Structure 1
């Protein structure tokens, strides 16, 4: 009976066990998860979302401004003949307001990426452009009190204003998402532990050679003690009993116990607590037994008693 040995090629083609397959799946999943949460990958995805949001918002803003342009032109022309000077000048009013608004929004598009505030004048300019566009669009509808016309001509300018106010907030939140992903990645990494040689381990004996003197054992390094935690800079909060103990220690017979005196003894105490401490100390001193009077002819000290 003859036996055939397996060649390396046959061993390579052996089917994997279930444990090997699960191990490969786990390794692949861990690698994919690590790359998915990588700050650069997150930033790339956020940039794609930011580009899509900017494109959609800008499209809505330009469509809204184009819709309001016709109403603003009719408001500015005020019944002027077609192709007259007044009729042509009416077409310049809405672009004049819209271009300033677009310039402010474009600046906020860049500053929001780095979370820089554009200041109050940018917000005032947007509000003025919105109010001017809204009034010129709905003026005729308000004068004739046309509810349908007011609603119809109010939606585009209000939508443009909301888009102008919401776009910087969305860009700011997207930037915060990138920073949060980067912070989680950096804080999640653990520094590799330094492999230090044991201090108490005996030194390996050196092999003596006939030409060289025997090597002296290296002195053991002193064991490092863990650094003590720094005390918190914030002082501990004092309670009412602590203030009462300080006031009791500072009081002497003949001192009038008042909230002002308590505050002079304890400068950091509040007015309400000083009144409570003064009341407590007054009650203690009132209930304490008074010292017995000492006769004039009776010695009070040990020296006087010895002399007597």
Structure 2
């Protein structure tokens, strides 16, 4: 059976179908659920790489810490065997803190100052035991070699919560009304004018109990600020105790920009 000319789609029909498909893809790409799924995949990938780097760095430092703790003990003796327990003792505590920060950063909950103190102590102890022999011998190459792994572990431990906080904020922004573009009234008008074009109805984000966005922290810091107070991340954390370190820096930068750009209302002297 031969096709007639009427059965063959025209160029305009093909373009119309491609335009409708492109509109559907664009609408689904901006869907908050799709964005959250993509961000979750990126979060899992980033977490995996960070954890692999941390464990490799801790495994590298284990030998140096054991050598430092054994301090010339006979190989196989009880002090030599006990020296192998020092590095895992410090590393397990550090991993526990990092694991807790991994969960709290997902919901932008501040873990408290003691967690950061524990992390700093674990890093300083590991760094000192790794580089002690090189410092006493004034071995510059040895200091550099044994400084890279613990410093990298510390930087990864400090950077990972910030990255997770930014990924969480990306999901929150995707669910915000401004992410989808036009307001609801515009969406209804567009649907009436062009019924053939699929339009995705925007969803309003539902506030979760115990969860605050960066805008909420900024509003609290703005309300607590008075002239003469220096806006710093530490001051923001004192005003908002539950805020994370990464979010406090961003809030401090935004509030500082508002304070600098805000016009000063000074009374003008009336001309005599």
Q: TM-score range by the shorter chain?
A: 0.5 to 0.7
1:98 counterpart = 2:91: yes
1:160 counterpart = 2:153: yes
Higher helix proportion, which one?
2
1:76 is matched with 69
1:252 is matched with none
Of 15, 22, 27, 1:29 maps to: 22
SS at match of 2:25: helix
1:143 counterpart = 2:136: yes
Deviations 1:123-180 (A, max 9, x none): 1111111000000000000000000100000000000000000000000000111111
Of 56, 61, 83, 2:54 maps to: 61
1:19 counterpart = 2:43: no
Aligned equivalents of 2:163, 2:8: Cα separation in 1:
52
Q: TM-score, normalised by structure 2?
A: 0.67
**RMSD (Å), alpha carbons:** 2.2
Deviation at 1:188, TM superposition (A): 4.0
Aligned equivalents of 1:171, 1:12: Cα separation in 2:
57
In structure 2, the CA distance between the partners of 1:188 and 1:117, relative to structure 1 (3 Å rule), is: farther
SS at match of 1:81: coil
Deviation at 1:186, TM superposition (A): 6.1
Whether contact under 8 Å (1:37, 1:181) holds in the other structure is yes
Whether contact under 8 Å (1:108, 1:168) holds in the other structure is yes
Higher RCO, 1 vs 2 (CA within 8 Å, ≥6 residues apart): 2
1:190 is matched with 184
Decide which structure has the larger Cα Rg and report it. 1
Deviation at 1:187, TM superposition (A): 6.3
Q: TM-score, normalised by structure 1?
A: 0.59
Deviations 1:237-290 (A, max 9, x none): xxxxxxxxxxxxxxxxxxxxxxxxxxxxxxxxx9x848x46xx5xxx4xxxxxx
Whether contact under 8 Å (2:30, 2:180) holds in the other structure is no
SS at match of 1:142: helix
Aligned equivalents of 2:110, 2:88: Cα separation in 1:
26
Whether contact under 8 Å (2:131, 2:143) holds in the other structure is yes
Whether contact under 8 Å (1:38, 1:185) holds in the other structure is no
2:125 is matched with 132
Q: How many residues are paired up?
A: 194
Whether contact under 8 Å (1:77, 1:86) holds in the other structure is yes
In structure 2, the CA distance between the partners of 1:101 and 1:12, relative to structure 1 (3 Å rule), is: farther
Aligned equivalents of 1:27, 1:273: Cα separation in 2:
59
Q: Which runs of 4+ in 1 moved over 6 A?
A: none
- Structure 2, unmatched stretches of 5+, are 190-263
Aligned equivalents of 1:47, 1:13: Cα separation in 2:
48
Aligned equivalents of 1:86, 1:119: Cα separation in 2:
37
- Structure 1, unmatched stretches of 5+, are 1-6, 194-269, 285-308
